[in-house]
Structure 1
Amino acid sequence: MLDEPYRSTPIFDEVTLPKALRRDHRTKAGTWGLIRVLRGTLKLTILEPASEILVTPGAPAVILPEQTHFVEPVGPMEMQVDFFDHLPRLGG
């Protein structure tokens, strides 16, 4: 069972994904972000430590507090970000 977020973004697609999410940004102190892709693929780039992750419907990604990152759609996709005040439990 997934944890319940305290806030979630709207569902974005490759057209409606805000420019602010496509350039460097970070979560606040004490805030974890859980990126969930509902359809398609999203490329997540984390600047420190440097990494690139392909986020898919079966593989969400966690953003740590104050971790600078940006996302890019890889073709048609739908995604949403859930925000937590603790490290979210992803299941099981």
Structure 2
Amino acid sequence: MRVLPDSVTPYKRTGLFTSDNVPDAFLKQHSTAKDKWGVLTVQKGSLIFCDDETQEKIKVAEPDSIVIKPSARHHLELEGYAEFYVEFYA
């Protein structure tokens, strides 16, 4: 299970993305910055979070979230309609 450390606080949040306007960069391998955590929250539908380091694929469905570790290489796969946002912590 991925859990945020107690020592981090939120500093930035993306707007709401949908399957129709998700940035192409999210669908390709990318990573969070060093010492920066992310929390991806699905508000509607579902998507697949792909951990490119472990090859693990995790379905994230409304109203669930997934914690993204610092510098972790990952990408998203869509499986139908989804609405989601990412909040960043440092």
List structure 1 runs of 4+ shifted beyond 2 angstroms.
none
After TM superposition, give the deviation of residue 80 of structure 1 in Å: 0.2
Q: 1:52 aligns with which of 57, 64, 85?
A: 57
Q: 2:38 aligns with which of 33, 51, 54?
A: 33
Corresponding residue of 2:29:
24
Q: What amino acid is the match of 2:18?
A: D
Identity of aligned residues (%): 30
Corresponding residue of 1:62:
67
TM-score after normalising by structure 1: 0.84
Q: Which secondary structure state, in structure 2, belongs to the residue aligned with residue 20 of structure 1?
A: helix
Q: What amino acid is the match of 2:13?
A: S
Q: Tell me: CA distance 1:23–1:61, structure 2 relative to 1, closer, same or farther (3 Å).
A: same
User: How many residue pairs were aligned?
Assistant: 83
TM-score after normalising by structure 2: 0.86
**Unpaired stretches in structure 2, ≥5 consecutive residues:** 1-7
Q: 1:42 aligns with which of 38, 47, 62?
A: 47
Root mean square deviation of aligned Cα:
1.3
**Unpaired stretches in structure 1, ≥5 consecutive residues:** 86-92
Q: Report the more deviating stretch, 57-66 or 3-12.
A: 3-12
